Structure 1
Amino acid sequence: MSEWFRQVTGPRRAAARLVCFPHAGGTAAAFRGWGAHVPPDVEVLAVRYPGRQDRIAEPCVDTMEPLVAAVTAALPTDLPLVLFGHSMGASVAHEVTRALPVPPVLLAVSGRRPPHLLRIRDVQGDSAIIADVKRLGEANAEVLDHPELRDLILPAIRADYHLVRTYEPGSLPPVAVPIVAHTAEDDPEAPVSDMRGWAELTTAEFDLTVWSGGHFYLAAHEAELVSMLCARLGELVSAE
């Protein structure tokens, strides 16, 4: 397996692959529990961004184009793919969908406005970034209160915030891939009205699911969310 992916599920004879893109400041560990909710024929991979966890010695990637190019080049396309991205990861997954020579059967975007409705917030400086991470309710935000841990993880968070701040795609042509969008009732970063705008980014089917909770609703709804993605994947694969 490429350094760009962590295999969440154990060895299996897979018929399809679910690829998960973490949020800004996030890691592949955000999806460590997803393997428990997929059927035996679905492999789960989590994208490993450089500059964190077991890639901490590598330089971070702080702009969209090289990150997308690297993930696209490393992503195996021998099986039907579902790409799922949360927050910043949704934008990365969308760009990878556009770049892949063999498109995924489904793009799932979560907690992130579509590119033509993005609102770039100029969050710079460690204090502002830390405050923003805590505002969004990131589950592990308390580690930022410990100086030793903060110094270890802040470079990756800074890089991701720079990527988000400098990514200005504007209007993009639609993809011929079904899109399912997910957001939460109380997510200030992805209001329901804006999430409906993802329908303009596909010439295929579009669905929107609204969950209870805030920006990181995923933790409370993990099993149901993964089961929903796998059910949709099964429908698409069987229809081919």
Structure 2
Amino acid sequence: MTAPATDTSPWIRRYLTVAEPRARLLCLPHAGGSATYYLPLARALAGDGVEVLAVQYPGRQDRRHEPCVDSVTGLADLLAAEVLPWADRTTAVFGHSMGAMVGFELALRLEARGVVPLALFASGRRAPSRRRPNAGPVHLRDDAGLLAEVRTLSGTDARVFADEELMRMVLPALRADYRAAETYVHTPGPRLAAPVQAHVGADDDKVTLDEARAWADHTDGAFTLHTHPGGHFYLTEQMSEVAGAVSGRLAELLE
């Protein structure tokens, strides 16, 4: 029997409480991202009876004084124990970019403990088995080089780059996240029992449609793919559309 969920974990943010939710959606941020990125998604899904739980990684915002975790598997290992108390309700997993990889590894760990997520929603990330030649790891660049890469993705408010104090605060977490994403290597093993729905921006040069379709190789369940207008951070502009696709898929799976 899973213990009742509480709001005491430093890892989990429940911005909106849904009375008797039909499902929970655990959301994992991108590299350099924080739990607050998913507040719009929480608002969009609450009306459909889906309660969003947003993950706060160590080393940012109210956890900025904690050591960063610089590996995907390390994050998944630590998260697994934090998530289990929330599994008193049917729970699905959503991750964007690096968060999709953490979500995949977390789902594997949950399934190994007998908790099968309702679905994994993998956004803005190629399948775990698809690697690209690395022309020079971003996490090994100097601060200017790291920030230059982040600027190209258009996922960060330009005002952040103009605030030197804020940049000093976020750089350690940003570098740790890039190290986690760039050093991750998929280890062949069990496929997920949970179905996978992939989401990708039509103009995302970090993920081709073929790389997104390859998520089908990582599940024994059903696979679906949604493309959206935009680049790597299509999600920021297409949050309502994505919320509709997620809510619709959850409704299908709950029938």
Q: Same fold (TM over 0.5)?
A: yes
Q: Which moved more, 1:83-92 or 1:170-179?
A: 170-179
Equivalents in 2 of 1:40, 1:210: separation in Å?
22
Give the C-alpha shift of residue 107 in structure 1: 0.4
**Structure 1: runs of 5 or more not aligned:** none
Equivalents in 2 of 1:138, 1:175: separation in Å?
30
Give the C-alpha shift of residue 82 in structure 1: 1.2
**Conserved 8 A contact 1:86-1:109:** yes
**Structure 2: runs of 5 or more not aligned:** 1-6
Give the C-alpha shift of residue 11 in structure 1: 4.9
State the SS of the aligned residue for 2:241.
helix
Equivalents in 2 of 1:210, 1:17: separation in Å?
23
Partner of 2:173: 156
Partner of 1:93: 103
Partner of 1:177: 194
Equivalents in 2 of 1:10, 1:117: separation in Å?
37
Asked if residue 186 in structure 1 is aligned to residue 238 in structure 2, the reply is no
TM-score (norm: length of structure 2): 0.89
List aligned pairs for 1:83-232, cutoff 5 A: 83-100=93-110, 101=113, 102-119=115-132, 121=134, 122-123=137-138, 124-125=140-141, 126-232=143-249
Give the C-alpha shift of residue 234 in structure 1: 1.5
Give the C-alpha shift of residue 203 in structure 1: 1.0
Go from structure 1 to structure 2 and tell me whether the alpha carbon gap of 1:34 and 1:148 turns closer, same or farther (over 3 Å shift): same
- The one-letter amino acid of 2:24's match is R
Give the C-alpha shift of residue 232 in structure 1: 0.9
> How many residue pairs end up in the alignment?
238
Give the C-alpha shift of residue 112 in structure 1: 0.6
Superposed CA offset, 1:93-144 (max 9, x none)? 0000000020101000011111110226311222221111111111325412
TM-score (norm: length of structure 1): 0.94
Q: Which moved more, 1:177-186 or 1:9-18?
A: 9-18
Partner of 1:51: 59
**Conserved 8 A contact 1:120-1:164:** no
- The one-letter amino acid of 1:98's match is L
**Conserved 8 A contact 1:23-1:89:** yes
List aligned pairs for 1:11-22, cutoff 5 A: 11-22=18-29
**Conserved 8 A contact 2:118-2:195:** yes
**Conserved 8 A contact 2:153-2:233:** yes
> RMSD of aligned C-alpha atoms?
1.4
